[in-house]
Structures are given as C-alpha cells and as structure tokens.
Amino acid sequence: MNRHLSPSFAADTQGASAVEFAIIMPVFVLLIVGIFAYGSYFALVHGLQQLTAEAARASIGGLTDDERQSLAQTSIATNAGKYPLLTAHELTLTGAATDPATSTFTVTVSYDASGLFIFNLPTIIPMPAPTIIRTAAIQRGGY
C-alpha cells in the first residue's frame, strides 16, 4: 500500500466547501436561534415594563391605596391584549402601595413566561429566569 498521497489527491479541493459548511453551519444556526430567543425575551420584558408603567399612570386617579390598586388591576386587564407576547392569565399584580415618606405609588407586576416558546427550545442556549418582575412608580400630586 502506498503511504504517500499522490499530488493530484492533495490538490483536489472538491470537498472543501462541504467541510467548511459542516464546520460553520452549526455555529451560524446557534447564533440565529440565540438572536431570536433573546430578541423575543427582551421584547417580552419591554412589553411588561410598558404595561406596568401604564398601570401606574392609570392608578394615580385613585384617592386611597385600595382604589389605586383596583385601577392598576383594571388597567393591566384592559391593556394586556395589546402586547402580543404577553398572556393575560400569566400576569399578576404583586404589589401596589404608596410610600408614605415620598408619596410615591409603586406598582409591581409579575409574569410567568415559562410557557412561552423560547423557554421550550433546546437547552443549548442559556436563558434567563422565566419569572419576570417589573416595577413602575409614579409621584402622587401635592394634596
């Protein structure tokens, strides 16, 4: 058996493209899936923050903390459908209270995103925690 490669075999480059494709394609697919997954996650977080800020702004009309909390809950229920990645039944108003020292009313909303498609992808992409908590505060008027 001849242990030396023939010059024509060493110069043959017909399979080079296939080898390069096999090396680069998995990395490229992983990059694209990561961009898609994290882009969806950041869109979800941004939507939740906007919804929380809307609830805080809507609650300013209340005279008591209970009334403000009710207004915030109504705002969340009414506006949740405007955000395509948010599911209304996964939203929870976890806190709505006024800080007596600063007269600031704070609304905290929690969202369980574990049922979202990006958390059901293969675990080759590390994802953040599926429970997202966002807070928005609004200063009460001078009364």
| More confident position, 119 or 130 | 130
**Separation between Cα atoms, residue 142 and residue 24, nearest integer Å:** 62
Number of Cβ atoms within 10 Å of the Cβ of 133? 14
The residue ranking higher by pLDDT, 91 or 140, is: 91
Q: What is the pLDDT of residue 75?
A: 92
Domain ranges within the chain, ordered by starting residue: 15-139
Distances (CA, A) of 17 to 6, 20, 23, 78: 21, 5, 10, 55
Query: Distance of CA 65 to CAs 21, 49, 61, 100, 124, Å?
Result: 61, 21, 11, 11, 45
pTM: 0.78
Which helix (H) or strand (E) segment holds residue 126: the answer is none
Q: What six digits make up the tokens of 8? A: 């024509």
DSSP E strand boundaries for the chain: 91-99, 104-112, 131-139
Asked whether residue 101 carries a pLDDT value surpassing 70, the answer given is yes
Averaged pLDDT for residues 69-77: 92
Q: Distance between the two ends of the chain, CA-based, in angstroms?
A: 98
